[in-house]
Structures are given as structure tokens and as C-alpha cells.
Structure 1
Amino acid sequence: MPVIHPLSYRLDHVPAASPSPLVLDSPHSGTAYPPDFASIADIGMLRTAEDTWVDDLWGGAVDQGVPLLGATCPRAYIDVNRAVQDIDPTMLDAPWPGPLSDSPKVGLGKGLIWRMLDDGTPLYDRKLSVAEVQQRIDACWRPYHAALCTLLDDTHARLGKVWHINCHSMPSVAGAYATGKPGTAHPDFVLGDRDGTTADPAFAAFVADWLRVRGYAVAINDPYKGVELVRVHGRPSESRHSLQIEINRKLYMDEVTLRPNAGYGRLKATLGELTSAMLGWMRAQATGA
């Protein structure tokens, strides 16, 4: 049975005969919009912030004994793939009591609490209170981070190594306020290891080569290098490897209706096969083969 936090996350895991060296998380899968959100954007627009279907697309990994942690709180409510310090003080009705970052994501309106959607649609017509932002952190952000930390620590304690895939999707073309490169046509996959600092570069190279052989266009660290979760958990010197994988939404869904397209089944099967290939590669690394 899955483990479900009341608001923050869902953990799917089917135990395998041998423990998995791989852990997956999908921080932008959440679709449970809390009643206190009170955004002026309609639900159809809010859903464009989700990594729609990503947790299901990777579902074949669960059948292979790989744990999959998925957020249930929506990204537009609080982005659990941002640091707690990534807060835009202009959104608040009082000074924030903690430290603040100068992250470029905050400047784009895409900090811990989003100011706008990728096309510039505003989310609020009011200032947020410090108390309500703190409540979102306590109810959603902290439990999600704690759950992922526990999964990775437990795996590392058992095996001495752990590989972590941070699962995402991206629009086929970057929106006006999505990244620092608006209008960019994205490849099929973008792998991010923060320029080789969150995982052994051989890991990204293996995944990229495996996908390219199957006809997919793959970029590494351009335009997405990975954000908070890979930054925090990727420590290759300690045999902790974190890689972000962005999937182009045109491969599997209609980007307007958000419904699966004809490529959905093929992509889901591909990700299941990729999981199997990664597990084989990881186990070979662990044994020195």
C-alpha cells in the first residue's frame, strides 16, 4: 500500500527481491489544491504549472522495486523544489523573518511561492501574510523534504551508494517567464546535474547515450541544470548521485488539453526500460564490474 501524507506527498513502492539503489521523486505532481489557496488564476491555468502525468509515466519503475515519491501539494501553491530562502519579499504584507536568497528564479516570479505562471498570468491580487507562507512550508515543504531525505539516507545506509532521479516535464517551447531563455525550443530530454557537481558525470552520460540510441534528442545542463533537490542531495564524493530529468511534454500529451497523446504508451514503456537499464548500470557500478 502507498504511504500518503495528508497534504504533502505520496510514496509508491513495491518491494523487490533485492533493495533498489535508485530512488525517484516527482516534486511537481501535486493536484490537491487547498481551499486556502485563493488564487485569482482559474484552475485550468494553474494546472499548467504541474508536471502533468510525470509520476504515472515513471510508474513502471515502482513495479521494479524503485520507490517513487510524488508531491500532492501543487507547485503553484508552493514549489518544493525551491529553497526556503527563495521568497519574493514584495509578495508579503510584512518583512520575512528569515534569510532571503537572490535566486534568479525569484526574479522570474518562480520562487518558493510563485508570483506568476509561465505566460505572466498573476496568481494573486493581494499580499500574502507571513503566517500563511510559513503554514505552507510546514504543511508541504518540510514533510516532502523529510520524506525524500529518509528514502535516500536509508538506501545509502543499506547499500553504501544511492542514485536519485528528480523527475520533471517541460513545455515544448519555454514560456516568456519560464526560464532565462524564453522561446527556446526544447529537446526531447534535458538532463541536469549542475555541471557535474551533483552526480558522477558518467551517470548523465549513460542516460543520455541510452536515450540517443533510441532516437531521442538529449541535452545536458542546458537550459535546465537542476535546482534545490538535486543540489541538496547530490554529493558524488559520498556516493550520493542526483540527476534531474526533464521530459518534453509534446512526447506524451496535448499541451493545451493536458490529455495523453498517441505517444504516451511508447514513452511510458521507454521509461520502464530506462529504469531497468539504469538499475543494471548502478548494480555494476556498486560491484565494480
Structure 2
Amino acid sequence: MRYVSSSPGTTAVVLDSPHSGTWYPDDFRPACDLTVLRRAEDTHVEKLYDFAPALGVAWIEAHFPRSYLDANRALSEFDPELLDEPWPHPVEAGSKVRLGKGLVWRLTDEGVPIYDRKLSAAEVSQRIERCWRPYHAAVAQAIDQAHAAHGYVIHINCHSMPSVSASHATEFPGLVHADFVVGDRDGTSAAPALTRWIAEFLRARGYAVDVNHPYKGVELVRRYGDPAHGRHSVQLEINRRLYMDEQSLALLPGHARLKQVLKDLVAGLVGLDPRAC
């Protein structure tokens, strides 16, 4: 199994899904049950966007689970308490690390400990080399190619969210989520007009949409968004209740309509020049 897969695009739109991976590597060895870990996945997101190649849209997908290594974290967002030895690299104790959800997760969304052992620096470094670096290299390459070909790029970082925030998922436990949350890090990772266009597109189709709350976007949009230079990165969160049973993880009939809406959204972005928004 490859840790990361990608397909090239011919348009100015790039999609990536860092959290829909369902392949659990043998060296993971978590202490908690797999059914608990699986609730952390952005389950089925890759299916919702499987139309991307047919639209000429680049697609990057992680096959490893986010609880094993979170590609949407900076390398410095690491909790050294996970290790049985010192971590030889810089660390920062941001909100995600405090919640146990840094580069390598310590807790699930519900606050369940993932490990009953300490990790070695070598195994964390191996995860970074196998997962984080190839994933970011693929995203960066797709964005650079789209920007070089078109003079701008629209990067959509694709996610899903539970209908209600769990105790350790965000800093807003118990929050009932809207149908969609569109994040641009308060206008720093994408032109606000583009973010408004996406939000209004979805609202016009009957969905409740929040912007930058409770999800502003994390490392992937922070790292690659540079709207002043034509690089627009937006995080798009979809409420899982729209398309799946959150307990069994089974797809619901409503996923077909949602998938068509997403296809129409992406097709609209393909035809949209953010410089004209």
C-alpha cells in the first residue's frame, strides 16, 4: 500500500484529502480499539470527490490515518511527552497539541489515550519521512504546476466533521456544527471574495454555512495559501450527518445529492478566476 497517491490536473483547481486514510500500518500498534480510531477519519471524503480527475482537477490523498500521523500539522506541532527520549527538533505547544491532536495524536476526539507505550524518536521520524514529506511534496507540486500554467491556483483542502464536536476535537466541545464550514484563516490563505463565493454557492443550495468557525484552516492552507501572489487555499469541512451514519460509518442515500453539489461547486471553481471575484 502506498502512503500517498495523487493524480495530476490540467485546471487551476487542486483538491487534497489528508484525513480520509483507512490503511493502518503495522507499526502503529495503538492501545485503543480500531472502531474508536476510525471515528477520527474523514471517512468517505475521497468518494465524495472521486469526480476530480474527470474535471481535470488535481487530487492528492493520504492513505494513512490521521491518528498515526497528521499531515495537516506543522512538524513543530509535536508533543515530546509521547517519546521515551528527547525530541531533537523544535516544538510548539499550540492548541492542537494541548488537545492531544498534534503531528502524532496522543488522544482521540473523545479524549481516549491512543498509546499505552512511549514512542521512539526513530519511529516518529520514520512516519514523517514516509507520510508527511511525501504528502506535502505532492500538494506543493500540484499547486506549483497549476499556478505556473494559469497564473493562479485555487486549492481546496477537503475535510469532514462530526455533527457535534467531541470533548477533545476542538476548543468548542459540544458545538453543533453547520452543514459546511469554510475556512481561510480569516482571509490570510485565500481572497475573502473567493471564500464568500464558495459560502454563497452552498447557501444557495439550502445548506447552513459558517465561515472560519470553528475551523479556520490549519497547516495545509497556512503553508500553501498566499492570495497576494495568486495562491488561494481554502479548507472545506462537510458535516458527516449529510452523507454517512456516524456510528456505523455507512454511506447514507443523501451522499449522492451531496456529491453532485460538490461536483457542481468544483466545476464552478474551474471556471472561476479569483482575480475577477
Per the TM superposition, whether the score is higher than 0.5 is: yes
Among 151, 162, 177, the residue aligned to 1:171: 162
Partner of 2:214: 223
Q: Which runs of 5+ in 2 are unaligned?
A: none
Post-superposition CA distance 1:238-269 (Å, at most 9, x none): 10000000000000000000001121111011
Post-superposition CA distance 1:111-132 (Å, at most 9, x none): 0000011111111001111111
Secondary structure, in 3 states, of the residue corresponding to 1:63? helix
**Match for 1:130: what amino acid?**
A
Partner of 1:12: 7
Q: Deviation at 1:7? A: 3.4
8 A contact 1:24–1:66 mirrored in 2 = yes
Among 207, 214, 218, the residue aligned to 2:198: 207
Among 86, 89, 113, the residue aligned to 2:77: 86
**Match for 1:250: what amino acid?**
R
Among 88, 95, 99, the residue aligned to 2:86: 95
8 A contact 2:11–2:56 mirrored in 1 = yes
Counterpart Cα distance in 2 of 1:100 and 1:148: 23
Counterpart Cα distance in 2 of 1:232 and 1:25: 13
Aligned residue-pair number: 277
Partner of 1:3: none
The answer on 1:125 being equivalent to 2:116 is yes
Among 261, 271, 275, the residue aligned to 1:280: 271
Aligned pairs for 1:124-203 within 5 A: 124-203=115-194
Among 83, 95, 111, the residue aligned to 1:104: 95
8 A contact 1:91–1:128 mirrored in 2 = yes
Counterpart Cα distance in 2 of 1:123 and 1:9: 23
Counterpart Cα distance in 2 of 1:10 and 1:117: 25
TM (norm. structure 2) is 0.97
8 A contact 1:7–1:139 mirrored in 2 = no
Q: Return 146-155 or 245-254, whichever deviates more.
A: 146-155
Among 229, 234, 239, the residue aligned to 1:248: 239
**Match for 1:166: what amino acid?**
N
After the TM superposition, list the runs of 4 or more consecutive aligned residues in structure 1 that deviate by more than 3 angstroms: none
Secondary structure, in 3 states, of the residue corresponding to 1:175? coil
Q: Deviation at 1:12? A: 3.2
Q: CA RMSD in A?
A: 1.2
Secondary structure, in 3 states, of the residue corresponding to 1:281? coil
Q: Deviation at 1:225? A: 0.2
Q: Sequence identity, in percent?
A: 53
8 A contact 1:29–1:54 mirrored in 2 = yes
Q: Which runs of 5+ in 1 are unaligned?
A: 1-5
The answer on 1:33 being equivalent to 2:24 is yes
Partner of 1:71: 62
